[in-house]
């Protein structure tokens, strides 16, 4: 790259001059390239340790003048090719011009101006791509790409100086963190260490400190453990590594989410010292933290935050904390964890006002809302800028407000006086009231669903007054009064101050009348509901009557959802549950429906309207319980891992016992997935749901630990898993809520209470209190950290399971060992993932569906297959390899969707590596027949176009079979034998049409397909279609290219020339024999122009073919014509065409055959004359004679459609040459090729430790 000219006083220190002219010098840095001696080793070490090479590339060009001692750097390069390009440009464009100048200062001024102009021009061209990274960072990125062989699409995020511990010896070097890889390079006194780890392969990433590795970062893969230490800022480095590993896990877990995340928001004011990607990742981390802290919608983006104080009227204090501003919300969090949280939606704001500053209250800012609450912030650093920013967001918010109140809202936002806001006041006085919240939104469903306007509990509860409930009723009234007092002090609705007092009230129990309202507030569902009016109604309307796999599963589970509750013992509750679950499955098809969602949703419907239950379900599935309800319940498995880890920390003795019994994995999934609703009495479990919506998963983990702790003595005495499960089941069934005012609902686990001594009842509030006292030290940040750690383990474990499942699905006769199949799967998966790294527009990235069976999830396109084929095939054909790869891909792509799965890929590889000579030749033979052979690939464009436009429409695809991806004719033949010659072809076409359809909705199709693959496995060589002349030429061309890199190259060329000559004879003889019956039978005239081979209706004629041109004729042809080279040339007359096939009564005797052949004067290519150059692109063999397509031809320039050859004839001819037989029967090991490919794909951690020899003084 060109550099702005800078002075260099000592030009030769640490550099070697390689080229020079009167004005410029090209130099190479010592320690790079060959040689260098001891000085080179020292320079290389200094470059790595001091990072001098991040500023100075290994090559540079200096400008010099004859009398001056000052040099100017004008260019640098990371490779010799790059620097040579710059050098040649200088020589060609500047040398002649510079020789005209007399003054050396003028020369230097001109050169500097020219170089600055080039740089400006380059920058102008690059400007649309966004802000450029600093020069030093770009140098480091170039060095990273060169050092580790990364493509242009791989972006460096940041790099750090650190030590890698190889054994007990630290190797100082540089750690490069890219989007998809972790790389490390060190060069110390001749010892080189190079590491590359893919983020998707990381199974463990943690920061720890031991005696051996102080303050180190540990990175584990399936193959090795890596330790890095001595970071300048280990916290920043580890945080970035976490983010990158998280992105990789998201890619494996949910492709759609990963693709959405690939375009993170850019901060408004970029910093010059860090890369753009680093800024993006930092912004993403802040967004995620902001949304999680305040339970905001997923599309909310943090604009900025600043320190300030908030006046809290309930304790008359100015609380220090942070103000967060985004496009729709102003939020505040105090420094103390339990201090105060506040969320102010901009849609509720009426006035933003700057108050007068004073020494007591500097830079105050007052914000008023529609429900007459005023919030006073102070100690703001840049108050004026903040007010402008909030005003901009208010303008945008007012213009976006939907509904009838939008006009009033616009007025109240724009008008600084509070008098302008009474119009919308009434609607927002109690913004979270379930009754008032969705009447308008659900009007269209009111008649169809009476449950739309209120919770089912209000419809199905006994209307007993509180006075009749005695102590329970009094307790419930006291709770309601406590909450009303709280609302008067702390505010009500979304703008309520949330403090430790709020948590205390939640732990004491939420009154049933307020439960729905507070669930909506604490979960954040209220914000999404009011900003999306009518969204649920639209979803219900769109999803009604739609049938999917999810709706089928929902119907099966509807009557299992709290069947003991009266609300779900009739069609009213069942219909409401159906609508909510179906609407969510329609909204989020990635999740669709998962068991346990029905139980949770039925409880939500008891306390809220359908729309409220829907938005609560959205909050649960997409924010509060991430990845819980996908097809693999990853989120629940992650939290189960956290539970096991916490049990080891808090209850070590019991944890060990439980692990031995295998109980934790059995119990925790049902606890977490249903929030204890399926294992506890309903009245008790709903109290846990209250706490969950306020505190999150922390409550569930604490409670699970408290349950184990309460039963520790009995569990330690257990002898098996069943006994432990019974103890825990009986305990949970007796957790009661003595304050509940609802009638008790029979619990399904009641049968577990039978026994000699019924267990004691446990009050749910006592259990919660104990859980906070003993295990309340858990913090949300710690849980998120543990979630990251467990997510790596869980997803990698699931990937290993997927790999084993896919390998098991491969038939046993494929030829590869289990180890080889697993290695091939790793390479195949890496190629699929690479399409998402460096080319998201490819169909593989767009079409991956995690809900499909494992075998179908990873697929590759033709370009990726071509790359894998080139590196793994034993049939290396040089420049012809991509052509052969394209044919193989078309042969394997049976459903024509331009993608192949792993099974198809392995089948193709197996055809080249395993089997005998006949099997491998069959593979090669089919690669030169449609559909593998494209019309465009023909030797002569005219002939190919003429041939294929006439006949391709009537040809049946050889890939009709779903039974054998690679032997396409066997299923068709099997079907014909079973169902008769007449209907067999139609059935085969029908089956083919089914298989070429889109992906089926369930797994039954795959099971049927795999079952069919076991049915017919016998194909005879006679079932293969015949090959015409053009296809035969392509086959010869492939064979010539295939032998070009073999040690027996000359012998193989000679052998294939002999075989090709023999086969050309056989084809000509067969054409002559078929011509005679053609003249006798006028009915055969219409078939003259038809190619003989691939059309299935020609089956009866094909059966008659072997006697006409079978082995005796082939042998006779070979004996008679081999070694002769007649001089005359003759082309078959127009009447001698036909199908190349004869009837039994028209067969010729052996004597007649010999006489005819002795009289024939066909031109024959002599032995050894058919060389590679004879098969050039401008040559086509017609009638055995090489002629140019532009030469006059008596056949009109069209392909000789009468010439054909069968697979038996090719096989018999090749068997005559032992060198060809040995070539195809040679055993090939795919293991080495897989290893090389895995290094190329960076699929596993690779390290090198080389010693540079040749040290000299």
HEC string for 757-820: CCCCCEEHHHHHHHHHHHHCCCCHHHHHHHHHHHHHHHHHHHHHHHHHHHHHHCCHHHCCCHHH
Query: Among 527, 506, 350, which Cα is nearest to 437's?
Result: 527
- What pLDDT shows up at residue 978? 41
Cα angle 534-537-541, degrees, rounded to a multiple of 5: 140
Give 735 or 981, the one with higher predicted confidence. 735
User: Where does 68-154 show beta strands of DSSP type E?
Assistant: 71-77
CB within 8 Å of 609: residues ≥ 6 apart: 434, 437, 438, 442, 451, 452, 453, 454, 455
Counting residues of the chain whose pLDDT is more than 70, the rounded percentage is: 68
- What pLDDT shows up at residue 169? 73
**For residue 267, pLDDT beyond 80:** no
User: Where does 835-930 show beta strands of DSSP type E?
Assistant: none
Stated as kind and residue range, the H or E segment containing 334 is strand 329-334
Separation between Cα atoms, residue 77 and residue 139, nearest integer Å? 9
For residue 6, what are the β-bridge partners?
A: 73
Out of 16-30, 985-999, 1055-1069, 1229-1243, least confident range: 985-999
Cα angle 928-933-938, degrees, rounded to a multiple of 5: 95
First-to-last CA distance in the chain? 33
* Token pair of 733 as six digits: 């069934």
Query: Given the DSSP bridges, would you call strands 735-736 and 762-763 parallel, antiparallel or unpaired?
Result: parallel
Out of 117-121, 242-246, 559-563, 1031-1035, least confident range: 117-121
**Residue 1099: which pLDDT band, with cuts at 50, 70 and 90?**
very low
List pLDDT tens digits, range 603-617.
999 999 999 999 999
- What pLDDT shows up at residue 744? 72
- What pLDDT shows up at residue 465? 57
**Residue 644: which pLDDT band, with cuts at 50, 70 and 90?**
very high
Separation between Cα atoms, residue 104 and residue 22, nearest integer Å? 11
- Report in angstroms the alpha-carbon separations of 671 from 353, 633, 652: 49, 13, 21
Supply the pTM of this predicted model: 0.71
**For residue 911, pLDDT beyond 50:** yes
Share of the chain residues as helix, strand and coil, in percent rounded to the nearest 5? 55, 10, 35
Q: Phi and psi dihedrals of 309, rounded to 5? A: -125, 150
Out of 248-262, 334-348, 963-977, least confident range: 963-977
Cβ atoms of residues 304 and 327 within 8 Å:
no
List pLDDT tens digits, range 230-246.
888 888 999 999 999 99
Q: How far is CA 1021 from the centre of its chain?
A: 42
Give 497 or 812, the one with higher predicted confidence. 497
3-state per-residue secondary structure call for 1240-1253 = HHCCCCEEEEEECC
List pLDDT tens digits, range 357-395.
887 888 899 999 998 899 999 999 889 999 999 999 998
- What pLDDT shows up at residue 263? 44
The mean pLDDT of 811-821, rounded to a whole number, is 87
Q: Is the peptide bond before 1173 cis (omega within 30 degrees of 0)?
A: no
Q: Is 755 helix (H, G, I), strand (E, B) or coil?
A: coil
List pLDDT tens digits, range 457-494.
877 765 555 555 677 888 889 999 999 999 999 999 99
The mean pLDDT of 58-66, rounded to a whole number, is 84
- What pLDDT shows up at residue 256? 53
Cα angle 1141-1142-1146, degrees, rounded to a multiple of 5: 165
Give 1078 or 1032, the one with higher predicted confidence. 1032
Cβ atoms of residues 124 and 130 within 8 Å:
no
Stated as kind and residue range, the H or E segment containing 321 is strand 317-326
List pLDDT tens digits, range 817-853.
899 999 999 889 888 887 766 544 454 444 556 667 7
Cβ atoms of residues 662 and 739 within 8 Å:
no
- What pLDDT shows up at residue 1015? 52
The mean pLDDT of 141-150, rounded to a whole number, is 86
**Residue 1236: which pLDDT band, with cuts at 50, 70 and 90?**
confident
Which residue matches tokens 């050396």?
104
Query: Among 703, 691, 684, 867, which Cα is nearest to 773's?
Result: 703
- What pLDDT shows up at residue 1086? 41
List pLDDT tens digits, range 438-447.
433 333 333 3
**For residue 304, pLDDT beyond 80:** yes
- Report in angstroms the alpha-carbon separations of 410 from 326, 386, 388, 596: 19, 20, 17, 43
- What pLDDT shows up at residue 27? 87
User: What is the set of domains in the chain, with CATH numbers?
Assistant: 2-129 (no CATH), 135-261 (2.30.29.30), 295-429 (2.30.29.30), 446-625 (1.10.8.270), 632-779 (1.10.472.80), 948-1226 (no CATH)
- Report in angstroms the alpha-carbon separations of 743 from 457, 554, 681, 998: 11, 28, 12, 52
**For residue 650, pLDDT beyond 80:** yes
**For residue 560, pLDDT beyond 80:** yes
Q: Is 1009 helix (H, G, I), strand (E, B) or coil?
A: helix
Separation between Cα atoms, residue 935 and residue 952, nearest integer Å? 9
Mean pLDDT, the chain, as a whole number?
74
Question: 1205-1227 as b/e, with b when 16 or more CB fall inside 10 Å?
Answer: bbbbbbebbbeebebbeebbeee
- What pLDDT shows up at residue 407? 33
Query: Among 516, 489, 522, which Cα is nearest to 624's?
Result: 522
**For residue 129, pLDDT beyond 80:** no
- What pLDDT shows up at residue 707? 94
Q: Phi and psi dihedrals of 62, rounded to 5? A: -110, 145
Cβ atoms of residues 278 and 272 within 8 Å:
no
The mean pLDDT of 683-712, rounded to a whole number, is 94
Query: Among 134, 127, 149, which Cα is nearest to 55's?
Result: 134
The mean pLDDT of 1166-1186, rounded to a whole number, is 39
Query: Among 166, 131, 390, 452, which Cα is nearest to 274's?
Result: 131
The mean pLDDT of 1079-1095, rounded to a whole number, is 41
Cβ atoms of residues 848 and 255 within 8 Å:
yes
The mean pLDDT of 1008-1020, rounded to a whole number, is 58
Out of 107-116, 163-172, 535-544, 707-716, least confident range: 163-172
Give just the sign of the alpha carbon dihedral 675, 680, 681, 684: negative
């Amino acid at each position: 790259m060109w550099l702005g000219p800078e002075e260099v006083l000592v030009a030769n220190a640490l550099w070697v001059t390689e080229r020079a002219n009167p004005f410029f010098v090209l130099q190479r840095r010592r320690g790079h390239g060959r040689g260098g001696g001891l000085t080179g080793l020292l320079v290389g070490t200094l470059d790595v340790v001091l990072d001098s090479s991040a500023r100075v590339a290994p090559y540079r060009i200096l400008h010099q003048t004859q009398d001056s001692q000052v040099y100017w750097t004008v260019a640098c390069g990371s490779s010799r090719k790059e620097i040579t390009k710059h050098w040649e440009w200088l020589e060609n464009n500047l040398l002649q011009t510079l020789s005209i100048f007399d003054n050396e200062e003028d020369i230097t001024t001109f050169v500097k101006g020219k170089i600055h102009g080039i740089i400006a021009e380059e920058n102008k061209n690059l400007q649309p791509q966004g802000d450029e990274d600093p020069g030093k960072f770009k140098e480091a990125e170039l060095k990273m790409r060169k050092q580790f062989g990364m493509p242009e699409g791989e972006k460096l995020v940041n790099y750090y100086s650190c030590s890698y511990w190889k054994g007990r010896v630290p190797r100082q070097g540089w750690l490069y963190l890219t989007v998809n890889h972790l790389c490390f390079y060190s060069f110390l006194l001749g010892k080189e260490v190079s590491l590359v780890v893919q983020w998707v392969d990381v199974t463990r990433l943690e920061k720890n400190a031991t005696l051996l590795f102080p303050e180190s970062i540990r990175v584990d893969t399936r193959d090795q453990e890596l330790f890095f230490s001595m970071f300048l800022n280990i916290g920043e480095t580890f945080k970035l590594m976490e983010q990158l590993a998280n992105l990789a896990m998201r890619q494996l877990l949910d492709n759609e989410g990963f693709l959405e995340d690939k375009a993170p928001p850019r901060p408004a004011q970029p910093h010059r010292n860090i890369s753009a990607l680093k800024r993006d990742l930092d912004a993403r981390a802040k967004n995620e933290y902001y949304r999680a802290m305040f339970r905001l919608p997923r599309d909310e983006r943090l604009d900025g935050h600043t320190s300030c104080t908030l006046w809290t009227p309930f304790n008359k204090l100015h609380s220090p904390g942070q103000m967060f501003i985004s496009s729709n919300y102003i939020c505040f969090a105090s420094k103390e964890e339990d201090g105060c949280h506040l969320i102010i939606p901009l849609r509720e704001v009426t006035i933003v006002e700057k108050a007068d500053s004073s020494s007591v209250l500097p830079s105050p800012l007052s914000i008023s809302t529609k429900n007459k609450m005023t919030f006073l912030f102070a100690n703001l650093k840049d108050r004026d800028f903040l007010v402008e920013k909030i005003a901009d967001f208010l303008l945008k918010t007012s213009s976006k407000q939907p509904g009838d109140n939008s006009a009033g809202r616009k007025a109240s936002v724009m008008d600084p006086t509070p008098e302008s806001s009474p119009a919308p006041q009434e609607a927002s006085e109690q913004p979270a009231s379930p009754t008032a919240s969705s009447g308008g939104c659900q009007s269209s469903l009111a008649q169809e669903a009476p449950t739309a306007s209120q919770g089912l509990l209000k419809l199905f509860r006994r209307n007993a007054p509180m006075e009749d409930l005695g102590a329970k009723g009094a307790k419930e009234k006291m709770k309601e009064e406590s909450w009303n007092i709280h609302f008067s002090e702390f505010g009500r609705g979304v703008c309520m101050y949330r403090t430790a007092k709020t948590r205390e009230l939640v732990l004491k129990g939420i009154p049933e009348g307020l439960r729905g309202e507070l669930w909506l507030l604490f979960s954040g569902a209220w914000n999404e509901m009011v900003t999306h009016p009518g969204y649920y109604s639209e979803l219900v309307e769109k999803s009604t009557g739609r049938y999917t796999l999810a709706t089928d599963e929902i119907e099966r589970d509807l009557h299992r959802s709290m069947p003991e509750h009266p609300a779900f013992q009739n069609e009213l509750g069942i219909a409401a549950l159906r609508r909510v679950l179906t609407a969510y499955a329609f909204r989020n098809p990635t999740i669709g429906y998962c068991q346990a969602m029905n139980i949770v949703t039925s409880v939500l419907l008891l306390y809220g309207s359908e729309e409220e239950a829907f938005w609560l379900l959205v909050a649960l599935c997409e924010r509060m319980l991430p990845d819980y309800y996908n097809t693999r319940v990853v989120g629940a498995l992650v939290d189960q891992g956290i539970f096991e880890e916490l049990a080891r920390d808090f209850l070590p003795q019991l944890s060990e016992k439980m692990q031995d019994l295998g109980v934790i994995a059995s119990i925790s999934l049902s606890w977490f997935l249903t929030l204890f609703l399926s294992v506890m009495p309903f009245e008790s479990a709903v109290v846990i749901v209250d706490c969950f919506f306020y505190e999150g998963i922390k409550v569930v983990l604490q409670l699970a630990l408290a349950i184990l702790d309460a039963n520790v003595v009995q569990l330690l005495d257990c002898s098996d898993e069943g006994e432990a499960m019974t103890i825990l089941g009986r305990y949970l069934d007796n957790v009661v809520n003595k304050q509940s005012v609802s009638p008790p609902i029979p619990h399904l686990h009641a049968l577990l209470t039978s026994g000699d001594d019924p267990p004691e009842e446990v009050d749910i509030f006592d259990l919660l209190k104990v859980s906070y006292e003993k295990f309340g030290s858990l913090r949300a940040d710690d849980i998120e950290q543990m979630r990251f750690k467990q997510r790596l383990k869980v997803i990698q474990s699931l990937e290993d399971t997927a790999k084993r499942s896919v390998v098991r699905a491969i038939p046993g006769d494929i030829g590869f060992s289990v180890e080889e199949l697993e290695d091939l799967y790793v390479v195949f998966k890496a190629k699929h993932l690479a399409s998402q790294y460096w080319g998201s527009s490819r169909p593989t990235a767009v079409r991956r569906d995690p809900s499909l069976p494992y075998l179908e999830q990873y697929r590759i396109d033709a370009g990726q297959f071509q790359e894998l084929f080139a590196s793994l095939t034993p049939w290396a054909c040089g420049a012809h390899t991509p052509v052969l790869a394209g044919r193989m891909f078309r042969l394997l792509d049976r459903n024509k969707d331009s993608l192949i799965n792993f099974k198809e890929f392995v089948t193709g590889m197996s055809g080249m590596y395993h089997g005998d000579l006949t099997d491998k030749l069959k593979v090669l033979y089919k690669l030169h027949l449609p559909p593998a052979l494209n019309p465009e690939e023909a030797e002569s464009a005219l002939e190919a176009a003429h041939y294929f436009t006439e006949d391709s429409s009537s040809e049946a695809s050889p890939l009709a079979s779903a039974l054998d991806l690679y032997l396409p004719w066997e299923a068709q033949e099997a079907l014909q034998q079973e169902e008769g010659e007449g209907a067999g072809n139609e059935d085969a076409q029908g089956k083919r049409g089914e298989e070429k359809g889109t992906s089926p909705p369930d797994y039954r199709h795959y099971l049927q397909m795999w079952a069919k693959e076991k049915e017919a496995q016998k194909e005879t060589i006679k079932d293969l279609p015949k090959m015409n002349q053009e296809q035969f030429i392509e086959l010869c061309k492939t064979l010539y290219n295939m032998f070009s890199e073999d040690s027996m190259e000359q012998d193989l060329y000679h052998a294939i020339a002999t075989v090709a000559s023999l086969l050309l004879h056989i084809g000509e003889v067969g054409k002559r024999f078929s011509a005679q019956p053609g003249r006798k039978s006028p009915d055969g005239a219409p078939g003259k122009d038809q190619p003989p081979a691939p059309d299935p209706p020609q089956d009866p004629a094909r059966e008659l073919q072997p006697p006409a041109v079978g082995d005796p004729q082939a042998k006779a042809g070979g004996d008679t014509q081999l070694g002769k080279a007649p001089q005359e040339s003759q082309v078959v007359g127009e009447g001698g065409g036909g199908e190349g096939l004869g009837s039994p009564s028209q067969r010729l005797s052996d004597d007649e055959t010999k006489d005819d052949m002795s009289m024939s004067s066909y031109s024959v290519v002599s032995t050894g004359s058919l060389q590679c150059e004879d098969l050039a692109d401008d040559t086509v063999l017609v009638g055995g004679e090489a002629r140019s397509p532009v030469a006059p031809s008596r056949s009109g320039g069209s392909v000789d459609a009468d010439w054909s050859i069968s697979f038996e004839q090719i096989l018999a001819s090749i068997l005559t040459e032992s060198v060809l037989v040995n070539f195809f029967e040679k055993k090939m090991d795919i293991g080495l090729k897989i290893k090389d490919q895995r290094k190329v794909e960076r699929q596993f951690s690779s390290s090198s430790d080389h010693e540079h020899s040749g040290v000299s003084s």
